[in-house]
Amino acid sequence: MAAKSPVVLILGAGPNIGQAVARTFASKGYKVGLAARSLKEADSTDKQLNIPSDFSKTEDVVNAFAKVKEVFGIPSVVVYNVSAGSFTPADDPFALSLADLSRDTTINIYSAFVAAQQAVSGFAQLPASAARTFIYTGNVLNVSILPRFLSAGVGKSGAAHMIWAAADAYKDRGYKFYYADERKPDGSPKYRIDGDAHANLYWELAHGETQGPWMQTFVTGVGYKKFDTIYASLA
């Protein structure tokens, strides 16, 4: 009997990072589960499962895991590539409504938390040879202030702490957790991000034997690069 193909579940399948990650993993033999609001399940193939999902609803995360497990099996790599942010005046961050903050926090933190819970539950059922990796697509907002982006900063900061805690807690079980943040070579934020660079990094992280630095600041064409953490405003 042929070996069963490994499975990657990508939550948030946008045209840049999400699709690049899907292409990279599919080209290397993975079955791909894609979950996003814009997808149509009818467009699924025998190698790609489309799962319509709204990550402002945590139950949609649970449903995505259940669907991909039913069709392809337990995902050994999970990518949380979803983000939300509501703009505020630069000089009045508390103009943000509680409703908008709550929605954004659900997408940036709560649904990511549920995804990590689901991933860990699955990893426990997979062999040690499986990748067993969870990657959160982040940005610089866990270490910097960007005016008008209060809710996104709250979300990325909370998610980064969660990933840091998970990387430490689960490393002895062989589970890997990463927060990915693309930068310019000088360490400043890169706003026009490179989907293929993310995909290449995610492949490397998923197939590394042990947990690496949980905060994966990286540069296109270079890969991981550690920068001094300077908490500052990007105004």
Contacts of 136 (CB under 8 A, 6+ apart): 80, 112, 159, 160, 163, 177, 178, 179, 180
Do residues 132 and 208 lie in contact, with contact meaning Cβ atoms separated by under 8 Å? no
The C-alpha atoms of residue 69 and residue 53 are separated, in whole angstroms, by 16
The C-alpha atoms of residue 138 and residue 182 are separated, in whole angstroms, by 8
The C-alpha atoms of residue 193 and residue 11 are separated, in whole angstroms, by 18
Give the position of tokens 């689901």: 118
Catalytic member of 156, 176, 184, 225: 156
Partnered with residue 7 across adjacent β-strands are 31
Q: HEC string of 20-48?
A: HHHHHHHHCCCEEEEEECCCCHHHCCCCE
Give 204-224 as a DSSP string. HHHT-SS---SEEEEETTTEE
Q: Provide the CA 158 distance to its chain's centre, in angstroms.
A: 13
- Is 67 one of the catalytic residues? no
Q: Which residues are catalytic?
A: 156
